[in-house]
Each structure stands twice: as C-alpha cells, then as structure tokens.
C-alpha cells in the first residue's frame, strides 16, 4: 500500500492496531521477545507510514518505529527476566493501542512429572520421590506434600527437593497392615500421584 497521507487517507483515529508477540528466545537466564505491531485501516487493509511507539511494563521503549508496506512495525525486547511482562504498541498521535501480557519462565526448571521408588523391609519403608521437568531433568527446591488416606486430614510437607530433584519419606507399618494408600502432590502445581506402599 502507498505511503500514508493524512489528507487523502482515513484519519489516524480510524486506524486499528494489533500486537503479535509470537515465540521468544531464551538466552541464559533472560529472554528476547519479538513484538510485531500491525496497523490497518477500516477496510482491514495494511497501512504504510504510520508511526508506532512501543512500551515495556508501562514505560516507553526504544525509538518510534514506522510501519512498512505490510502495515507492520517491529521491535525487539532483549534481556527480559523471569516473570510477567507487559508489552504495548501505540499509534502515535492517537489513543489507539494494543496491550499483551506474557509470562517468561524457564521450562527446564518447571515441574512436569513426579516419580517414586519404594525401598526397605520389615515394616519400615522409604519412598523416594523425584521431580522432573519436561526435558526429564531434575527440578530442585520443590515441595512435595504427602497425604495419608489411612489417617483423616493428615498431611506432611517434605523438605525441598535436592539438586537431584529428590526427597524421601519413611513409612512404618503396623504388623497387620499390608498396604498404605498415599497421595503425593507438588505444591504450586496440578501434579498429583496416587501411590501404594506395600508391606
């Protein structure tokens, strides 16, 4: 589309802006995000030559960009730390803006699975739990809660998982007990496992 001409084309106030974040690139402990603003006229056609101001976390960011022939203006946001970040794009000279909020977190440190193993004998058993990420790497500093179905309203929070993503709990059986039904869950997630410890 031709360069925007405010005397011939639609007024700025009639234009619409959208903001696409797409994927991000992790670089060490930080992220780089590409933001693409798209400006269109009331006919849904891309508009070239529109000045766009970008914002990060409520603060103006970088230089004013100008839309290309496809109506797009692009801004890169490097050095983003973990947590929620707010991105905005504003058509300069108007109140037309689009906001997006995105969370950045290290998936390699996010719990995705809980596995367990039973050891011991003669009424005394240990259950060792391990928390793994999607990449099957151990996740440390995670709290596992144990719910014993034999004892009403009983639960115990284990110490945080170690560097191997593991933590253990011991179970003592009465002489007549054959099985203990336990629920193990990871605090702060929806991951839960029903396990059976046998005597």
Q: By the 8 A CB rule, do 141 and 158 touch?
A: no
Instruction: Tell me whether domains 12-105 and 108-198 share a fold.
Output: yes
- Which are the contacts of 122, defined by CB distance < 8 A and separation ≥ 6? none
**Residue 181 predicted with pLDDT over 80:** yes
Mean pLDDT is lowest, of 21-35, 72-86, 173-187, for: 173-187
Region 12-105: CATH code: 2.60.40.10
Q: What does the alpha-carbon distance between residue 43 and residue 74 come to, in Å, rounded to a whole number?
A: 22
Fold observed for domain 108-198: Immunoglobulin-like (2.60.40)
Angle (CA) 180-183-188 rounded to 5° is 160
Q: What is the mean pLDDT of residues 108-120?
A: 83
pLDDT tens per residue, range 47-103: 999 999 999 999 999 999 999 999 999 999 999 988 889 999 999 999 999 999 988
- Alpha-carbon distance of 4 to 48, in angstroms, equals 6
Contact by Cβ (8 Å): 114, 129: yes
Tell me the domain boundaries of the chain.
Answer: 12-105, 108-198
């Amino acid at each position: 589309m031709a360069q925007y001409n405010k005397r011939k084309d639609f007024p700025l106030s009639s234009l619409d802006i959208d903001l696409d974040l797409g994927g991000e690139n992790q670089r060490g402990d930080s992220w780089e995000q590409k933001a693409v603003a798209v400006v269109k006229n009331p006919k849904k056609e891309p508009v070239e030559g529109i000045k766009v101001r970008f914002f990060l976390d409520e603060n103006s960011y970088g230089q004013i960009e100008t839309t290309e022939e496809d109506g797009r203006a692009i801004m890169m946001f490097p050095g983003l730390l973990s947590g929620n970040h707010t991105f905005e794009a504003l058509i300069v000279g108007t109140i037309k803006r689009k906001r997006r909020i995105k969370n950045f977190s290290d998936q390699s440190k996010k719990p995705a699975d809980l596995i367990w193993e039973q050891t011991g004998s003669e009424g005394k058993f240990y259950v060792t739990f391990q928390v793994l990420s999607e990449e099957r790497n151990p996740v440390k500093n995670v709290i596992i809660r144990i719910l014993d179905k034999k004892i009403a309203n009983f639960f115990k929070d284990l110490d945080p998982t170690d560097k191997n993503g593991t933590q253990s709990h011991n179970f003592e059986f009465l002489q007549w007990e054959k099985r203990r039904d336990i629920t193990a869950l990871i605090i702060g997630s929806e991951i839960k496992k029903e396990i059976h410890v046998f005597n």
